[in-house]
Amino acid sequence: MLIVTNMMQNETIIALEQQYEVGLYPKRPLAIVRGEGARLWDAEGRMFIDCVGGQGAANLGHCHPAIVAALQTQSSHLISCPEIFPNDQRATYLEELADALPFPARIFCCNSGAEAVEASIKFARLLTGRTRIIAAMRSFHGRTFGALSATWEPKYRQPFEPLVPDFAHVPYDNMEALAQVVDDETAAVLLEPVQGEGGVRPASPGYLEGVRRLCDEHGALLLVDEVQTGFGRTGRLFAIEHSGVTPDMMALAKSIAGGLPMGVVALHERHGVLPPGSHGTTFGGNPLTCAAARAALRALIDEELPRQAAEKGAWLLAQLRSLEAPVVREVRGLGLLVGLELKQRVQPYLGALLERGVLALPAGPTVLRLLPPLVISYDDLGTVVAAVAAVLRGT
Ligand SMILES: *Cc1c(COP(=O)(O)O)cnc(C)c1O
C-alpha cells in the first residue's frame, strides 16, 4: 500500500498562495482539501460545517456521488467540443433544462455568472436596438465590464471607471423609483429576485409583477439574475417561481453543474434566434460540464432539494429569529439563503464562527450570510444555530 507522505499542512498551502497569487482575495486562515455533503475538511483533518456553500456553487453538497460518477464517465468519452459541433451531452442537457425552466426558452451556454449576465445585457441590446440598462442599488451581477456596470457597489466600480455607458441604478423593491426611469429608450431592467451580496433582501410580493407590467408598457425587456437564487436555493427550483412572472431572460450559474464552472442564459422563445456570430465562447456547452449539469439537475429534482431548502430554510429562520441577541437588527431570507443583519461589522463574527467549526459568509459589511448546501442535515443546522447564538452573545 502506498503511504502518502507529502500531505501538505495548512501553513504550507496558505504560504504558497500568499507568495504566488495576485492578492485579490482576503483569505481565511485554513486550507480546504476535502468535502462531503455539507462538511469540509482542512489539510490537518479538522471538520467544518459549510455555510459558505461554494459561495452558492454547492447547492448539491460537496462531491455529490451523481456528479462524481458523471465526471468519471464523461471524462473518458469527451471533454471539449466547441459549439460548432453538436454534442450528445449538450443536446440532452438543453432539452432537460428547457423542460425544467418555468417558461419556454432557448439556451446560451457559457462558463460563469458574470458571463451569463454579460450575455444577457448584450442580447437585450441586440433584440431591442436600445442601449439603456436599469439595475438596482445594492445589486451584484459580477466583475466583467458589462456585469460590473450593472453592479452597484462603488468600491467594485470606481477603480475601473469609465464603465460601459448607459447604465442607471434605482432603489431595489421600489416601483415608484423604477417607474420614473423606465421609458421608451430602456433596453432592459436587470434584477435579482432576492439580492444576495447586497445583504440578502427578498423582493416584496407584487414587485416583480409590477416590474413586468412596466417593462411591457415601454417595450423594455425584463432580465432576472438567478445566478445565486437558482437551482433550489430559495425553496423553488428558480426564485421567480415564487411570483407569477415570466422574464425575457434569466441568467444562471453557480450551482448549475454541481460545482463546475458553467453559466447559461435562458432566452424566452418568443425572441426567436440571435444573429449567427454575434456572441460566443470557446468553453461554452462543453460535454464535461454539460454531463455534470445533467446529473446536477436530475439530483436536485429527484432528491426534492427545492422543497428541502424551503423546509430547512423556514426552520433555520425561525431558530435564528428566536435567538435573543441584542446585536441582531433583523433576520431575513428565503429558503436556505439567510442573512442576519447586525448592528456591528460582521467580520469578527465570521472569525469566531470559524473557531467553532462553522464557515459562513458576509453579505456587505454588517450582514452574516448562511448559504449551506441544500443537503445539510438538521443536526448540522442545529450545530450552526448553536454556534451563531454563542458568537452573537459573545459566550
Ligand atoms: C456570484 C454572482 C454573480 C457572478 O457570478 P460569477 O460566476 O462569480 O461571475 C452574478 N450575479 C449574482 C446574483 C451572483 O450572486
Q: What's the CA-to-centroid distance between 390 and ligand 1, angstroms? A: 31
Q: What's the CA-to-centroid distance between 229 and ligand 1, angstroms? A: 10
Closest atom, ligand 1, to C-alpha of 253: 7
Q: What's the CA-to-centroid distance between 195 and ligand 1, angstroms? A: 11
Distance CA 160, CA 142 (A): 13
Domain boundaries, the chain: 10-63+305-393, 65-302
CATH T-level assignment (fold) for domain 65-302: Aspartate Aminotransferase; domain 2 (3.40.640)
Cell of 83: 459549439
State the CB neighbour count (10 A cutoff) for residue 393: 12
Which pLDDT does position 216 carry in this prediction?
98
Length of the chain: 395
**254 catalytically annotated:** yes
Residue to mutate, 109, 226, 228, 369, ligand 1, most ligand atoms under 8 Å from C-beta: 228
Distance CA 260, CA 296 (A): 10
Q: Which residues pair with 113 in a beta bridge?
A: none
**In which residue are the cell numbers 448592528 written?**
343
Closest atom, ligand 1, to C-alpha of 225: 13
- Torsion, Cα 335 55 29 380, to 10 degrees, reads 30
Closest atom, ligand 1, to C-alpha of 143: 9
**27 catalytically annotated:** no
Ligand 1 contact via 239 beta carbon (within 6 Å): no
Q: What's the CA-to-centroid distance between 114 and ligand 1, angstroms? A: 6
Which pLDDT does position 324 carry in this prediction?
86
Report the predicted TM-score, pTM, of the whole model to 2 decimal places. Answer: 0.97
Q: How far is CA 220 from the centre of its chain?
A: 25
Which pLDDT does position 5 carry in this prediction?
46
Distance CA 193, CA 24 (A): 28
Ligand 1 contact via 139 beta carbon (within 6 Å): no
CATH 3.40.50.300 assigned to 10-63+305-393 = no
Ligand 1 contact via 111 beta carbon (within 6 Å): no
Closest atom, ligand 1, to C-alpha of 228: 15
Q: What's the CA-to-centroid distance between 217 and ligand 1, angstroms? A: 29
**In which residue are the cell numbers 444577457 written?**
120
**Contact by Cβ (8 Å): 146, 121:** yes
Which pLDDT does position 7 carry in this prediction?
75
Residue to mutate, 55, 111, 141, ligand 1, most ligand atoms under 8 Å from C-beta: 141
In 99-148 the beta strands, taken as DSSP E runs, fall at: 105-110, 132-136
Which pLDDT does position 395 carry in this prediction?
73
Which residues of the chain register pLDDT less than 50?
1-3, 5
| Closest to 359 (Cα-Cα) out of 3, 62, 88 | 62
CA angle centred on 377, ends 352 and 49, rounded to 5°: 25
